[in-house]
């Protein structure tokens, strides 16, 4: 059997951690190790980790100073001994057959990506980003990621451990949103073939206090994010092949900042001016052209555009 190393970064998640770890213990595939990286938690998370480790020899706990989720994941990978890596967030779950299904469809592939269920209270929604099973070359995978046709999360998938050799993970700590996207690109750069599969393998649990529900992006943040994405694509040598998709991603990033700030943006900001100029070189739908047209109206444009999207 081939061991899978499951890495869970843990930070102040005592309310949800047991559900997450129990989903690992319930796996139909049993050749795994669970690496819990307690990233300087200030609640009872660390004690919960220690208790699980004392009850199952496959569970290892590492207590570190707080360095952020990306650093915690990287540290967990460094401690791993498996052939495959699977990331699980401390407030999410794996389907009971997740590891078995993904490993079973991993032939000749370096990454296997499944679908996820979105759980919000008693409501469960199945997200079918992967409509069928297929295998992709690296450039197809990267293009799909950038166009958001492939999930940009780092979870709900497995990676060959070898992809992490030579310091693959390198993401600035200040990127607290969409850092998964960058990591996927960095790993995708080194993958020869990627499998996307229809199976539901991951449970994404929605809680009101998560960063994704409290963070409001802005032009400066989106500019920094796009710079990191550009650097990752250039490093992998795929930039020219996905240049149009990347430009469209910058337009989406501009819209995210514009809507988050309710149109109150600096029209002279270098990132805003750069994106408006570059957008002229790609084909955009009427809706995106309308957004760029309304952008100079700032708050009035925001109100109008929001009304169109209700």
- The closest alpha carbon to 79, from 9, 126, 177, belongs to 9
Are 150 and 228 part of one and the same domain? no
Is residue 155 located within the same domain as residue 88?
A: yes
Pick the more confident residue, 188 or 169. Answer: 188
Residues 204 and 248 occupy one common structural domain: no
Beta-carbon contacts of 15 under 8 Å, excluding residues fewer than 6 positions away, are none
Q: Which domain covers residue 106, as residue numbers?
A: 4-212
My answer on whether 43 and 98 are in the same domain is yes
The reply to whether 281 and 184 lie within a common domain is no
Q: For residue 35, what is the domain's CATH number?
A: 3.90.550.10
Of 212, 243, 275, the domain-final residue: 212
pLDDT over 90 (residue 59): yes
DSSP 162: G
Total number of domains in the chain: 2
**pTM, two decimal places:** 0.92
Note whether 57 and 149 are same-domain residues: yes
Same domain, 202 and 233: no
- Both 49 and 66 in one domain: the answer is yes
**Which of 178, 212, 246 lies at the terminal end of a domain, its last residue?**
212
150 and 293, same domain (yes or no): no
Tens of pLDDT, residue by residue over 251-309, are: 999 999 999 999 999 999 999 999 999 999 999 999 999 999 999 999 999 998 888 77
The rounded distance, in Å, linking the Cα atoms of 102 and 12 is 29
- Between strands 157-160 and 111-120, the pairing is antiparallel
Contact call for residues 194 and 135 (beta carbons, < 8 A):
yes
pLDDT in tens, 196-251: 999 999 999 988 765 555 678 999 999 999 999 999 999 999 999 999 999 999 99
How many Å apart are CA 76 and CA 85, to the nearest integer?
A: 10
Q: Are residues 207 and 233 part of one domain? A: no
């Amino acid at each position: 059997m081939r061991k899978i190393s499951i890495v869970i970064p843990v930070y102040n998640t005592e309310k949800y951690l047991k559900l997450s770890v129990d989903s690992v213990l319930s796996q139909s595939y049993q050749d795994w190790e669970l690496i819990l990286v307690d990233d300087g938690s200030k609640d009872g998370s660390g004690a919960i980790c220690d208790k699980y480790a004392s009850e199952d020899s496959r569970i290892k706990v590492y207590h570190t100073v707080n360095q952020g989720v990306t650093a915690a994941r990287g540290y967990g990978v460094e401690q791993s001994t498996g052939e495959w890596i699977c990331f699980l967030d401390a407030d999410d779950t794996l389907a009971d057959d997740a590891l078995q299904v993904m490993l079973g469809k991993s032939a000749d592939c370096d990454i296997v990506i499944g679908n996820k269920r979105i759980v919000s209270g008693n409501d469960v929604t199945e997200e079918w980003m992967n409509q069928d099973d297929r295998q992709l070359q690296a450039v197809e995978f990267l293009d799909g990621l950038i166009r958001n046709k492939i999930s940009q999360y780092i979870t709900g998938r497995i990676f060959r451990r070898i992809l992490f050799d030579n310091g693959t993970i390198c993401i600035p700590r200040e990127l607290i949103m969409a850092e998964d996207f960058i990591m996927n690109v960095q790993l995708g750069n080194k993958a020869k073939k990627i499998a996307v599969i229809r199976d539901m393998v991951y449970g994404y649990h929605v809680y009101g206090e998560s960063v994704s529900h409290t963070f409001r992006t802005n032009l400066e943040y989106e500019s920094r994010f796009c710079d990191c994405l550009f650097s990752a694509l250039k490093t992998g040598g795929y930039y020219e092949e996905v240049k149009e998709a990347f430009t469209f991603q910058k337009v989406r990033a501009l819209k995210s900042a514009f809507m988050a700030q309710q149109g109150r943006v600096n029209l002279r900001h270098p990132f805003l001016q750069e994106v408006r100029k570059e957008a002229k070189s790609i084909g955009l739908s009427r809706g995106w052209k309308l957004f760029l047209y309304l952008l100079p109206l700032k708050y009035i444009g925001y109100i109008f555009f929001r009304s169109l999207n209700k």
